[in-house]
Structure 1
Amino acid sequence: MKAYLFPGQGSQFIGMGSDLYKKYFIAKKLFQLSNDILGFKITDIMFSKHSMNILKETQYTQLSIYIYSFIKIKTLSNFYPDMVSGHSLGEFSALAAINAFSFEEGLILVKKRAQIMQKICERISGGMAVILGLEDELVERVCYQQTRSTNGDRIVVPSNYNAHKQIVISGEYQTLKKVCHILYQIGAKKILYLPVHGAFHSPIMEPAKKALEKLIKNIHFHPPICPIYQNIHGKPVINCIEIKKNLIEQTTSPVKWKQSIKNMMIDGATLFEEISQKKFLIKMVKNIINHYDHINVK
């Protein structure tokens, strides 16, 4: 069985999609449709060789990755998924790919999602960091201990359970730095600050969750062509009402990526393919499944 994986923020790259635009008629058509719907030329940002700083801005990053991911699968001649999963923003790309909602509806939703999150990022100095080499429970405990002694928005929580001894934490930037310092002192092998300006998948995003709930509830979802393993719990879902609920909840909840991959394997996945150029997700999958010889990745 084949599983397709859709990446989130951090998978953007210079010139993303320009090769597809030149090579495929359907890609050119969808890029032009995107420009029309958005009211500006997102292609100028995506295709430019000098736009990396702009691509890092949430309002453009999310749109670019969603558009690229959907167009990429439309250029594949063999997109017949048995199951899919998307990492954070990638969950929206995955849902469009399996016909849970239309590309156009998803594009508008992602645009509004990005705008909402951008405003929160401007109001609160947030960040995210990858912690390598520590058990999940230890990272959870340090985050909890530091957050307990602060008030209001000064919070840090686990936000992505990516792979074995690889967890991402999110929160107010100064508190995040303090937690990272403590984690390094107690044995973290490596700490990497992500190139984002927000505390995604944390309680800081509660205003975004409330705004998104209204938007998502007004979109008509269709039964998907295959199960999607959703971030909120890493389990397969096909019911439209449940998909909506989980999509809303993931805004402030951690991404259970490690759990999603394990459940996909249990349910029969023998081949994983990532819809991305950087293959970050595949590196995580290899970490998770390195003792399963019968699993293949692309």
Structure 2
Amino acid sequence: MGKIAFVFPGQGSQMVGMGKSLADQHEDIRTMFNQADEKLGYSLTDIMFNGPDEQLTLTTNAQPALLATSMAVLKRFETVGVTPDYTAGHSLGEYTALAAAGAITFEKAVVAVHQRGKLMEEAVPAGLGAMAAVLGMDRDALEEEMIEISRSGAIVAAANYNCPGQIVISGSKEGVEKASERLKEKGAKRVIPLNVSGPFHSPLMKPAAEKLRVVLDAANVQMSNVPVMANVDAKPVTDAETIKENLVRQLYSPVLWEDSVNALLNEGVDTFIEIGSGTVLSGLIKKVNRRVRTFAVSDEESIMKTAAALKEETK
């Protein structure tokens, strides 16, 4: 049997009601969520369980909510005896991957991502930044166009390399609009504006990145127990200083998700388990390599089903 990677979703995977069934069923999960509320000084869980959706979608709420949900699901999943050889997460999910690998405590991580959300929202005034998903365009061709557009003074960059044929761009509103037109002319099948509050993973996030360094110093990052595949360079990392440096750079650098999946495959991973809300990453992983096995666990039922499927194999 090959190796197992636990992967954790980022912003966009949140949905009202996430984590609720586990909290209803298990006291230790309720305790965990209460810890998050206490650390943040408001009831994040109320927003997670009951909404409204616009509250949950705010970056400052979505980030700790996704982390808390994934960690709660992980806590339950660990009881079935499955352990990872690697962890990885998409953007915000990298913090969950680090918490899962023991590099940061749950409470410190919840506070750090809440603050990260604040810094990201404050970095660029609302309405001045934008992001868009570019579908059906070759990576090298897109990168060439980005260089050309940037030369004209517009701020725009690749933000997420999600899977072949799906790249997200980010930058100033004007830069993203200009790039969207140009990429369509150059053969992109579709360019879809994203409903986000800022130009994440673009050079416009650099001012926030320096402030994030202070947040990470307070988070007491340790060496991780298993290697975590980093977003910024798609390399496995365990060293505390490198982890922190990567997280600072991650704020204004592209998320190399496709590269990270390929790097995990090269390390011998053949089973990816997405832990938390939604199935976004499972879908992207399948587009990178159709032959790998993916599972998504988010509640008691999916945890038990996945555990049974994995046990079947080890027989």
TM-score by length of 2: 0.88
- TM-aligned CA deviation for residue 23 of structure 1: 1.3
Q: 1:146 aligns with which of 134, 149, 152?
A: 149
What is the CA–CA distance in structure 1 between the aligned matches of 2:11 and 2:195, rounded to whole Å? 9
**1:138-287 aligned within 5 A:** 138-150=141-153, 154-287=154-287
CA contact (8 A) 1:230 1:236 kept: yes
- TM-aligned CA deviation for residue 278 of structure 1: 2.0
CA contact (8 A) 2:184 2:190 kept: yes
- TM-aligned CA deviation for residue 160 of structure 1: 0.7
Match of 1:74 in 2: 75
Match of 1:114 in 2: 117
- TM-aligned CA deviation for residue 124 of structure 1: 5.9
1:59 matched to 2:29? The reply is: no
The amino acid across from 2:281 in the alignment is L
Q: Which runs of 5+ in 1 are unaligned?
A: none
Q: 1:20 aligns with which of 7, 19, 22?
A: 22
Q: 2:46 aligns with which of 36, 44, 47?
A: 44
What is the CA–CA distance in structure 1 between the aligned matches of 2:206 and 2:126, rounded to whole Å? 13
User: 83-92 or 171-180: which moved more?
Assistant: 171-180
Match of 2:301 in 1: none
- TM-aligned CA deviation for residue 175 of structure 1: 2.1
- TM-aligned CA deviation for residue 297 of structure 1: 1.1
- TM-aligned CA deviation for residue 296 of structure 1: 1.1
**1:283-298 aligned within 5 A:** 283-290=283-290, 293=291, 295-298=292-295
What is the CA–CA distance in structure 1 between the aligned matches of 2:93 and 2:35, rounded to whole Å? 20
The amino acid across from 1:65 in the alignment is L
User: 165-174 or 200-209: which moved more?
Assistant: 165-174
CA contact (8 A) 1:73 1:79 kept: no
- TM-aligned CA deviation for residue 222 of structure 1: 2.4
CA contact (8 A) 1:134 1:165 kept: yes
Post-superposition CA distance 1:127-186 (Å, at most 9, x none) = 211111111111112222222212xxx411001111112111001123212211221222
The alignment partner of 2:102 has SS state of coil
Post-superposition CA distance 1:249-279 (Å, at most 9, x none) = 1111111111111110110101001113321
What is the CA–CA distance in structure 1 between the aligned matches of 2:123 and 2:248, rounded to whole Å? 17
- TM-aligned CA deviation for residue 192 of structure 1: 2.3
Q: 1:131 aligns with which of 124, 129, 134?
A: 134
The amino acid across from 1:37 in the alignment is K
Q: 1:7 aligns with which of 6, 9, 12?
A: 9
Task: Call closer, same or farther: CA 1:277–1:60 in 2, change over 3 Å.
Answer: closer
Post-superposition CA distance 1:195-230 (Å, at most 9, x none) = 211111111001110001122134332222210000
Task: Call closer, same or farther: CA 1:93–1:17 in 2, change over 3 Å.
Answer: same
Q: Which runs of 5+ in 2 are unaligned?
A: 296-315
The amino acid across from 1:130 in the alignment is A
Task: Call closer, same or farther: CA 1:224–1:79 in 2, change over 3 Å.
Answer: farther
The amino acid across from 2:293 in the alignment is N
The amino acid across from 2:44 in the alignment is I
What is the CA–CA distance in structure 1 between the aligned matches of 2:36 and 2:5, rounded to whole Å? 27
The alignment partner of 2:125 has SS state of helix
The alignment partner of 2:158 has SS state of strand
Taking only the aligned residue pairs, the percentage that are identical comes to: 34
The amino acid across from 1:202 in the alignment is S
What is the CA–CA distance in structure 1 between the aligned matches of 2:221 and 2:64, rounded to whole Å? 20
The alignment partner of 1:75 has SS state of helix
The amino acid across from 1:58 in the alignment is T
What is the CA–CA distance in structure 1 between the aligned matches of 2:17 and 2:173, rounded to whole Å? 30
- TM-aligned CA deviation for residue 79 of structure 1: 4.2
The amino acid across from 2:43 in the alignment is K
- TM-aligned CA deviation for residue 33 of structure 1: 1.0
CA contact (8 A) 2:160 2:169 kept: yes
The amino acid across from 2:134 in the alignment is I
